[in-house]
Amino acid sequence: MSDKLIIFDTTLRDGEQSPGASMTRDEKVRIARQLERLKVDVIEAGFAASSNGDFDAVQLVANTVKESTVCSLARANDRDISRAAEALKGANSARIHTFIATSALHMEKKLRMTPDQVFEQAKQSVRFARNLVADIEFSPEDGYRSDPDFLCRVLEAVIHEGATTINVPDTVGYGVPELYGNFIKSLRERIPNSDKAIWSVHCHNDLGMAVANSLAGVKIGGARQVECTINGLGERAGNCSLEEVVMAVKTRRDYFGLELGIDTRHILAASRMVSQTTGFVVQPNKAVVGANAFAHASGIHQDGVLKARDTYEIMRAEDVGWSANKLVLGKLSGRNAFKQRLNELGVQLDSEAEINAAFARFKELADRKSEIFDEDILALVSDESVSQDKEHFAFVSLAQHSETGERPHARVVFTSGGHEIQSESDGNGPVDASLKAIEAHVQSGAEMVLYSVNAISGSTESQGEVTVRLQNSGRVVNGTGSDPDIVVASAKAYLSALNKLQSKADRVAAQG
Ligand code: KIV
Ligand code: ZN
């Protein structure tokens, strides 16, 4: 059995299924590039048949990423599989991931199919896919709650048809480590041709055990692929977190004895990029990537770490991309220094025009904020609410007045489809007044389901990073914005969410 553990990242597919985490095509490509830098083995870029937007995103990722295998999800039917193959045409290395539910509950209530029909469809789909692409992954959805005898029958058949990876999802996060690990082990032992495929685990985090279950699937079950997402992003309580599973296998190499291809130094940048893009804030005590993950507050711990680092630290912060929160650039820094820092942070901007625009924003920020940290630079390049040429709505300026005892008032200037708009409103506070001013003109009718502010680098001198989540006609989107002035950051975040609602509406319209 191989001693390499394959890391399959599904941030752009399963992660994106989390309500409010939808990403634009360009955001997906930016994250895919970061995943490639991280040396992820397989990137699941989306579900090509689900919409024209998803098709385009998978296609663009396939055409851009060269080092990692690019994968598209497809239901077990010819149309989905053909769309996936079509979107993946430009990939250096392509994989189709096809799935069908196999639990009694899903077959009867969701698919309204008999087990025999599901068996035939699974077989037929893998055969069809195998004629289009050599690398085929098959997943029995809700596999962990499926009847083991039936599952063995299906999995043996799809391996026979040419499936090269067999993924066993714990779709609803019901597993516990020992049982899930043994489940994988027994499938591998019972299925006569199980050695012809690589076994994979895919665990959801409903009971907080996704990472533990995945690791048990590897250690007890002998799986050699883990499906995971950056920051554990994903539907409901999320998926297995990439950073945790990777650092567990690396740090406890003595126990797992497995090799990884991952360049862990890019983990933190990937975590920040995903968090800033989706607006899903990382909790401070989150393992590996949380702000406190390597902070020692208690005197005893600080003393110990100063004397000998390994008294309280089992990993080195710099191995996952943490550097001291040092002042990296200032007002006098030139374009080259800025560009070099972007490179060091793993940020790749497409053209000189994009670098120039980001540099102009950096200079503007440096005029208002004396110290510029890495976090500021990352926020600055992910802040798309100011890139007027690409987005429908873009922030221009804001003036607001608030005084104790008076009702706050705001005037916001922004562009809508290239036309400058000026709109005013009052509100309960300056943020409320500013967002009402925008809404007074746009009239999106969207309901705000979340508003949160986070200080990017800790102090009141920091930039505020605002997340706004809007819901409209069943669609949920997140917008983020950053600025030293949190009222401005809020207006940017609101405009960014409106842009996403707009682009989702365009995508739906394009599908007809
Ligand atoms: O959780 C799940 O079952 C899935 C499959 C489509 C692999 O995401
Ligand atoms: Zn899943």
Q: Check pocket membership of 139 for ligand 1, CB cut-off 6 A.
A: yes
- Residue 67 confidence (pLDDT): 98
Task: Tell me which residue of 250, 194, 190, 254 sits closest to 226, measured CA to CA.
Answer: 250
* Two tokens, residue 193: 């041709």
pLDDT, tens digit, 9 for 90 and up, residues 431-454 = 999 999 999 999 999 999 999 898
Res. 250: pLDDT tops 90? yes
For 445: left if phi > 0, alpha if psi spans -120 to 50, otherwise beta; the answer is left
Can you give 212-257 as a three-state secondary structure string?
A: HHHHHHHHCCCCCEEEEEHHHCCCCCCECEHHHHHHHHHHCHHHHC
Q: Check pocket membership of 171 for ligand 1, CB cut-off 6 A.
A: yes
For residue 476, the cross-strand partners are 471
Bigger pLDDT: 224 vs 22: 224
Give the burial class of 284: count Cβ atoms within 10 A of its Cβ; 0-12 exposed, 13-18 middle, 19 or more buried.
Answer: exposed
pLDDT band of residue 305 (cuts 50, 70, 90) is confident
How far is the C-alpha of 250 from the C-alpha of 260, rounded, in Å? 8
Q: Check pocket membership of 99 for ligand 1, CB cut-off 6 A.
A: yes
pLDDT, tens digit, 9 for 90 and up, residues 107-137 = 999 999 999 999 999 999 999 999 999 999 9
* Two tokens, residue 353: 């025009």
Half-sphere exposure of residue 130, counting CA atoms within 13 Å on the CB side? 16
pLDDT, tens digit, 9 for 90 and up, residues 86-113 = 999 999 999 999 999 999 999 999 999 9
- Residue 297 confidence (pLDDT): 61
Instruction: Summarize the confidence of residues 424-437 as an average pLDDT.
Output: 97
Res. 458: pLDDT tops 80? no
Instruction: Summarize the confidence of residues 337-358 as an average pLDDT.
Output: 80
Res. 325: pLDDT tops 80? no
How far is the C-alpha of 104 from the C-alpha of 147, rounded, in Å? 7
* Those residues with Cβ within 8 angstroms of residue 334's Cβ, 6 or more apart along the chain or in another chain: none
What's the distance, CA 205 to chain centroid?
Answer: 15
Q: Check pocket membership of 202 for ligand 1, CB cut-off 6 A.
A: yes
pLDDT band of residue 395 (cuts 50, 70, 90) is very high
Per-residue DSSP letters for 433-454?
A: HHHHHHHHHH---PEEEEEEEE
Q: What is the DSSP letter of 110?
A: I
Question: In angstroms, what is the span from residue 169 Cα to ligand 1's centroid?
Answer: 6
How far is the C-alpha of 494 from the C-alpha of 444, rounded, in Å? 11
Strands 198-203 and 165-170: parallel
Bigger pLDDT: 290 vs 385: 290
pLDDT, tens digit, 9 for 90 and up, residues 149-169 = 999 999 999 999 999 999 999
- Residue 380 confidence (pLDDT): 80
Res. 389: pLDDT tops 60? no
Res. 388: pLDDT tops 80? no
Res. 505: pLDDT tops 70? no
Work out the percent of the chain whose per-residue pLDDT is above 70.
94
Query: Of 228-242, 267-281, 310-324, 373-387, where does mean pLDDT reach its minimum?
Result: 373-387
Q: Which atom of ligand 1 is nearest to the CA of 167?
A: 7
Half-sphere exposure of residue 498, counting CA atoms within 13 Å on the CB side? 24
Residue nearest to atom 5 of ligand 1 (CA): 141
Residue nearest to atom 8 of ligand 1 (CA): 14
How far is the C-alpha of 124 from the C-alpha of 367, rounded, in Å? 63
What's the distance, CA 176 to chain centroid?
Answer: 25
- Taking all residues of the chain, what is their mean pLDDT, rounded to a whole number? 91
How far is the C-alpha of 157 from the C-alpha of 163, rounded, in Å? 9
Q: Which atom of ligand 1 is nearest to the CA of 171?
A: 1
Instruction: Summarize the confidence of residues 299-315 as an average pLDDT.
Output: 77
Question: In angstroms, what is the span from residue 97 Cα to ligand 1's centroid?
Answer: 10
pLDDT, tens digit, 9 for 90 and up, residues 59-70 = 999 999 999 999
Question: In angstroms, what is the span from residue 239 Cα to ligand 2's centroid?
Answer: 7
Res. 512: pLDDT tops 60? no
Give the burial class of 292: count Cβ atoms within 10 A of its Cβ; 0-12 exposed, 13-18 middle, 19 or more buried.
Answer: exposed
Half-sphere exposure of residue 319, counting CA atoms within 13 Å on the CB side? 13
pLDDT, tens digit, 9 for 90 and up, residues 327-336 = 567 778 888 8
